[in-house]
Amino acid sequence: GQQLNQSPQSMFIQEGEDVSMNCTSSSIFNTWLWYKQDPGEGPVLLIALYKAGELTSNGRLTAQFGITRKDSFLNISASIPSDVGIYFCAGSYGGSQGNLIFGKGTKLSVKP
Amino acid sequence: GAGVSQTPSNKVTEKGKYVELRCDPISGHTALYWYRQSLGQGPEFLIYFQGTGAADDSGLPNDRFFAVRPEGSVSTLKIQRTERGDSAVYLCASSPGTHNEQFFGPGTRLTVL
């Protein structure tokens, strides 16, 4: 099935560093969502974006809905060990309903 | 309040058998979604219910897969004549329907031997 281009695929973080990841699509979306998934669990919703250009924060997390409606980014400031996990972007064509199309994920690990 | 729950958490079956996976959505959520996640991939859409009816089943891979939501709450995903390629984590999500914020359950890990 269709998936979004999410980058980077993986990255190592050191505590206190800022982290940035992004997602691009060949199609225009009406909604962008960012999720975090820990091993053996379902994805947990972090941030939802509904308007082009929208910038939304949730604690140390900030996400933006690109003005072209074909991209989104997620920033994590001052990372902490519990930030490790897999982050997924997801887009939806439907305004209030409809399935989500997911990226392949960005895996955050702690630098050895 | 309670989140989305899914049972069983793990299911091991043999090729050719029939399986049922259950999803209990968040109370009051009108929309319910099923996704399938393979190792190293993001979730892939299977089917979406609005109330009791399947609003979009375009993601079901073939006619061995079927899902129901008879009373507009609990949903069951049914897989007939399972194949080894059906092995994956099956995720359920629900949404209140006002915005497309989907809340996921922990998933059912299906292994077909």
pLDDT digits (tens, 9 = 90+) for B5-54: 999 999 999 999 999 999 999 999 999 999 999 999 999 999 999 989 88
| Average pLDDT score over chain B | 94
Residues of B in contact with A31 (CB under 8 A): 99-100
- How far B44 CA lies from chain A's nearest CA (Å)? 7
A93: its two tokens: 């064509």
A42 touches chain B (CB under 8 A): yes
Whether the predicted pLDDT of A64 surpasses 70 = yes
d(CA B97, CA A111) in angstroms, rounded, equals 40
Whether the predicted pLDDT of A1 surpasses 70 = no
Residues of A in contact with B95 (CB under 8 A): 97
pLDDT digits (tens, 9 = 90+) for A26-55: 989 999 999 999 999 999 999 999 999 999
Contact B101 A50 (CB under 8 A): no
Instruction: Report percent pLDDT > 70 for chain A.
Output: 95
| Average pLDDT score over chain A | 92
Contact B42 A98 (CB under 8 A): no
Torsion from C-alpha of A36, A65, B50, A1, nearest 10 degrees:
-70
Q: How confident is the model at residue A102 (pLDDT cuts 50, 70, 90)?
A: very high
Q: How many H-runs (helices) and E-runs (strands) does chain A carry? A: 0, 11
d(CA B65, CA B43) in angstroms, rounded, equals 17
Q: How confident is the model at residue B55 (pLDDT cuts 50, 70, 90)?
A: confident
pLDDT at A111: 81
pLDDT at A112: 72
Q: Which of B41, B99, B104 sits opposite A96 (nearest CB)?
A: B99
Q: Which of B59, B101, B104 sits opposite A99 (nearest CB)?
A: B59
Whether the predicted pLDDT of B100 surpasses 90 = no
A39 touches chain B (CB under 8 A): no
Q: Which residues make Cβ contacts (< 8 Å) with residue A48, sequence separation at least 6?
A: A31, A32, A33, A34, A56, B99, B100, B101
Q: Which residue reads 């919703």 in tokens?
A: A45
pLDDT at A97: 62
Q: Which residue reads 């979004």 in tokens?
A: A4
A108 touches chain B (CB under 8 A): no
pLDDT at A17: 94
- Name the DSSP class of A4: B
- How far A42 CA lies from chain B's nearest CA (Å)? 4
**Taking a C-beta distance cutoff of 8 angstroms, is the pair B34, B78 a contact?**
no
Q: What is the mean pLDDT of residues A50-79?
A: 96
- Mind giving me the DSSP string for B34-50? EEEE-TTS--EEEEEEE
- Name the DSSP class of A69: S
